[in-house]
């Protein structure tokens, strides 16, 4: 699993290279522009895990695959119309019920959900440990 520091470094690198602002991230997450700005300008010394996770998962689907509006990835459908990843994602979202009937898709979703639950549980445990009276 990727560490918080690695996530922050990837966030900083990606937002700088793609000129993504704190405003844009805040607009698309439940975070405030001020809070995101503190992370992007490195004035937050130890941002909360949940905040870093929310920014990270807004920018990245997983450890290696960025999701954003400025980068286009496409798929060649063996001579048929080439579509962008964004178009594919929208098609999947529109046909979620049908996709869930396929075991491969179902497995992908279940693994993602399990991974996220594990991360949330770890973050919760960290928070509870932090809040524990001395």
Contact criterion met (CB below 8 Å) for 49 and 69: no
Determine the pLDDT at residue 64: 41
Check whether 61 has a pLDDT greater than 80. Answer: no
Distance of alpha carbon 7 from alpha carbon 116, whole angstroms: 15
pLDDT in tens, 15-30: 999 889 999 999 888 8
DSSP string, 82-130: -EEHHHHHHHHHHTHHHHTTSHHHHHHHHHHHHHHHHHHHHHHHHHHHH
Residue 40, SS3?
A: helix
37 has pLDDT over 90: yes
pLDDT for 40: 96
The partner residues of 74 in beta bridges, in order of sequence, read 84
| DSSP notation for 41-54 | TT--SS--HHHHHH
Asked if residue 71 has pLDDT above 50, the reply is no
| Mean pLDDT rounded to a whole number for the chain | 81
Confidence of residue 36 (pLDDT cuts 50, 70, 90): very high
73-90 per-position pLDDT tens digit? 455 566 666 777 777 778
How far apart are alpha carbons 73 and 86 in whole angstroms? 8
Judged against a pLDDT cut of 60, whether residue 33 lies above it is answered with yes
Cα distance between residue 26 and residue 35, in whole Å: 9
Phi first, then psi: give them for residue 24, nearest 5 degrees. Answer: -60, -45
Q: What would the mean pLDDT of 124-131 be, rounded to a whole number?
A: 81
Q: Is the pTM of this model over 0.85?
A: no
């Amino acid at each position: 699993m990727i560490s918080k520091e690695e996530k922050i470094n990837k966030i900083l690198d990606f937002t700088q290279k793609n000129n993504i602002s704190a405003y844009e991230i805040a607009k698309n997450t439940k975070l405030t522009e001020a809070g995101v700005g503190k992370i992007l300008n490195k004035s937050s010394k130890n941002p909360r895990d949940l905040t870093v996770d929310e920014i990270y998962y807004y920018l990245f689907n997983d450890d290696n695959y960025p999701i954003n509006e400025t980068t286009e990835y496409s798929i060649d459908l063996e001579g048929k119309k080439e579509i962008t990843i964004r178009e594919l994602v929208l098609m999947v979202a529109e046909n979620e019920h049908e996709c869930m009937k396929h075991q491969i898709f179902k497995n992908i979703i279940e693994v993602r959900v399990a991974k996220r639950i594990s991360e949330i549980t770890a973050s919760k445990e960290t928070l509870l440990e932090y809040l524990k009276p001395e």
